[in-house]
Structure 1
Amino acid sequence: MTFVNELSPMWQEKWGKAGFKTAMPIQEQMIPEMLAGNDIVAESPTGSGKTLAYVLPILERVNPEKQAIQAMIVAPSQELSMQIVNVLREWTEGTDVTVTQLIGGANMQRQLEKLKKKPTIVVGTPGRLNELVKTKKLKMHEIRILVLDEGDQLMAREHRGIMKDLIEKTQHERQLVLVSATITEEIELVAERLMQHPTRLQVTAEDLPMLGKVTHSFIKVDERDKTEMLRSLSHIPGMKGLAFVNNLDQLLMKENKLKFRDAKIVTLHSEMKKDERKKALDAFRKGEVAVLIATEVAARGLDIDKVTHVIHVDVPQTVEQYLHRSGRTGRAGAGGEVLTLLAYSDERHYKKFTKELPSKPVQKVIHGGKLIEGSSKTIAAKGNKR
Structure 2
Amino acid sequence: MADSQQPHPKTKSKAKKRYLKAKKERRKHRKTSDRSGALPEEETDDNSEDGPPEKTSTVISPARLARQSNLAIGDDSQKRKKRKLDHTITEGPLEDQSKQAEVDEPEVVEDSLPDRALPLFPLPTRPDAPSKTELALQGLNRAQIEAELVDPNSTLPINLDADNSQSILGSKTRKRLIDLGVNDLFAVQTAVIPFLLRSGHKYTSLYDPYHPPRDVCVSAPTGSGKTLAYVLPIIELLSPRVVTRLRALIVLPTRDLVAQVREVFETTGKGRGLKIGTATGQHSFSHEQAQLVTDEEWRTGRTSKVDVLICTPGRLIDHIDGTSLFTLRDLRFLVIDEADKLLNQSFQDWLAKVLAAIQRPYESYLPVISRHGLRSLEDTSAGGCVTASLVPQEPPNELQTDCDEPRHSSCQKLLFSATLTSDPGKIALLGLRDPKYFVVREVATGASVNHHLVSEGFSIPTNLVEHMVVCNPSQKPLMLFYLVRAQRVDTALVFTKSSESTARLVKLFELFEKNSPVTENRKLIIRAYSSDLPPSERKSILEQFKEKKIGILVCSDLISRGLDISHVAHVVSYDVPIDIRKYVHRVGRTARAGRHGEAWTLVEEQEARHFKTMMKDAGHLNQIKRVRISDEELVPLTAAYDIALTQLKKSYQPHW
TM-score by length of 2: 0.53
DSSP-derived class of the 1:194 partner: coil
Counterpart CA distance in 2 for 1:230 and 1:284 is 19
Match of 1:86 in 2: 263
1:123 Cα offset (Å) = 0.1
The counterpart of 2:533, out of the listed 260, 269, 272, is 272
- In structure 1, the residue matched to 2:179 is 17
| Residue 575 (structure 2) aligns with | 314
Alignment partner for residue 203 of structure 1, among 440, 444, 449?
440
Shift of 1:191: 5.0
Cα distance, 1:349–1:358 mapped onto 2, change above 3 Å: closer
- 3-state DSSP class of the match of 2:600? strand
Matched, 1:120 2:307: yes
Change in CA separation of 1:124 and 1:99 when aligned onto 2, cut-off 3 Å:
same
**Structure-1 separation of matches of 2:485 and 2:241:** 50
Aligned residue in 1 for 2:79: none
Q: Does 1:111 align with 2:288?
A: yes
1:44 counterpart = 2:220: yes
1:348 CA drift (Å):
0.8
Please give the secondary structure, in 2, of the residue aligned with 1:159. coil
Instruction: Map Cα deviations across residues 315-365 of structure 1 (whole Å, 9 max, x no partner).
Output: 11112221121111112222211101121111111222334337443343x
Give the ranges of 4+ consecutive aligned residues of structure 1 lying more than 6 Å apart after TM superposition. none
Match for residue 243 of structure 1 among 469, 494, 497: 494
Q: Is contact 2:223–2:591 with CA below 8 Å preserved after alignment?
A: no
- Alpha-carbon spacing, 1:379–1:206, altered in 2? closer, same or farther (3 Å): farther
Distance 2:242 2:250 in 1: 20
In structure 2, the partner of 1:136 is: 323
- 1:69 matched to 2:246: yes
Moved more, 35-44 or 353-362: 353-362
CA 1:110–1:2 in 2, change beyond 3 Å: closer, same or farther?
same
The sequence identity of aligned pairs, in percent, is 26
Deviations 1:3-42, CA, capped at 9 Å, x for gaps: 9823333223223323333211111111122234421111
Tell me how far apart the structure 1 counterparts of residues 424 and 563 of structure 2 sit (CA, whole Å). Answer: 22
Partner SS state of residue 123, structure 1: strand
Q: How many residue pairs end up in the alignment?
A: 372
Moved more, 275-284 or 183-192: 183-192
Q: Which residue of 1 aligns with 2:410?
A: 173
Q: How large is the Cα RMSD of the aligned pairs?
A: 2.9
Task: Flag the structure with more relative contact order, 1 or 2, with Cα contacts below 8 A and sequence separation at least 6.
Answer: 1
Normalising by structure 1, report the TM-score. 0.87
The one-letter code of the counterpart of 2:338 is: E
Aligned to 1:370: none
**Is the aligned partner of 1:157 residue 2:345?**
yes
What is the letter of the counterpart of residue 248 of structure 2? A
**Does the aligned pair in 2 maintain the 1:316–1:322 contact within 8 Å?**
yes
**1:223 to 2:385 alignment:** no
Larger Rg: 2
- Whether the aligned pair in 1 keeps the contact of 2:335 and 2:414 (CA below 8 Å) is yes
1:362 pairs with 610, 625, 640, which one?
625
Question: 1:33 and 1:289, CA in 2 relative to 1: closer, same or farther beyond 3 A?
Answer: same
Deviates more, 1:305-314 or 1:1-10: 1-10
8 A Cα contact 1:306 1:334, kept in partner: no
User: Where does residue 234 of structure 2 map in the other structure?
Assistant: 58
Name stretches of at least 5 consecutive residues in structure 1 with no aligned partner: 365-373, 382-386
Q: Which residue of 2 aligns with 1:367?
A: none
Q: 2:562, 2:464 → 1: CA distance?
A: 19
Q: Which deviates further from its counterpart, 100-109 or 54-63?
A: 100-109
Q: Could you say which residue in structure 2 is the equivalent of 1:376?
A: 630
Match of 1:368 in 2: none
| Residue of structure 2 in register with 1:371 after alignment | none
Distance in 2 between the 1:103 and 1:342 partners?
A: 36
Say which SS state the counterpart of residue 42 (structure 1) adopts: strand
1:123 partner amino acid: I
- Deviation, 1:136, is 2.5
The 1:304–1:114 alpha-carbon spacing in structure 2 relative to 1, beyond 3 Å, is same
1:343 aligns with 2:505: no
CA contact (8 A) 1:218 1:342 kept: yes
**Structure 1 residue 377 displacement after superposition:** 5.3
Q: Distance in 1 between matches of 2:540 and 2:183?
A: 33
Residue equivalent to 1:289: 550
User: Any conservation in 1 of the 2:545–2:553 contact (CA below 8 Å)?
Assistant: yes
Q: 1:214 aligns with which of 446, 450, 464?
A: 464
Q: After the TM superposition, which of the residue ranges 245-254 and 130-139 deviates more from structure 2?
A: 245-254
Task: Please report how far the alpha carbon of residue 161 of structure 1 lies from its aligned counterpart in structure 2 after TM superposition.
Answer: 1.6
Alignment-mate amino acid for residue 321 of structure 2: K
